[in-house]
Amino acid sequence: MQLGPKGTALIKSFEERKLAAYQDPRGIWTIGWGHTLGVVPYQTCSQEDADIWFVRDTQTAVNAVNRTTDVPLTQEQFDALVSLTFNIGQGSEAHSTLLALVNRRNFAAAGDQFLVWNHINGVVNAGLTRRREAERALFLS
């Protein structure tokens, strides 16, 4: 499967496009639409760079979800999982209870697991809570 329009819109709604590098709440240097690979302080990019990185970065998450899911998914379920994976990383997604529940076809319980991923350094983060609620809603739609 590939990322659909709803998934793209969801990710972009939480990954504000920034053309200058900044540190996210965890201190990770970020630029564009949530791009982190090789980003350094004071780096800038063009809109075109940000869009290219978005396609590459989301494709990495798409590939991970395609690799780790063993059951058929709806487009909405897939898009929600890609959004989560884009944000938490492939390793976290691959070893998550959420993924295990998806692969057991326990979609209701898997949907609730989105809400677990709302902490930064052990503290609940309001922005991540909103994102996880949106991902859960898309997953269960």
**Residue 31 structural domain:** 5-140
Longest CA span, the chain: 45
Q: Based on the residue annotation, tell me whether 16 is a catalytic residue of this protein.
A: no
Q: How far is the CA of 81 from the CAs of 18, 127, 129, in angstroms?
A: 24, 18, 15
Residues whose CB falls within 8 Å of the CB of residue 65, separated by 6 or more in sequence, listed in order:
1, 78, 81, 82, 85, 93
pLDDT confidence of residue 16: 86
We report the CATH number of the domain holding residue 104 as 1.10.530.40
Write down the pTM of the prediction.
Answer: 0.92
Q: What are the pLDDT digits (tens) for 121-132? A: 999 999 999 999
Residues 81-90, mean pLDDT to the nearest whole number: 96
Give the C-alpha separation, 26 to 37, whole Å: 15
Q: What are the pLDDT digits (tens) for 14-37? A: 998 999 999 998 899 999 999 999
pLDDT confidence of residue 25: 87
**How many distinct structural domains can be found in the chain?**
1
> Per-residue confidence at 48, pLDDT binned at 50, 70, 90?
very high
Give the C-alpha separation, 44 to 50, whole Å: 10
pLDDT confidence of residue 26: 87
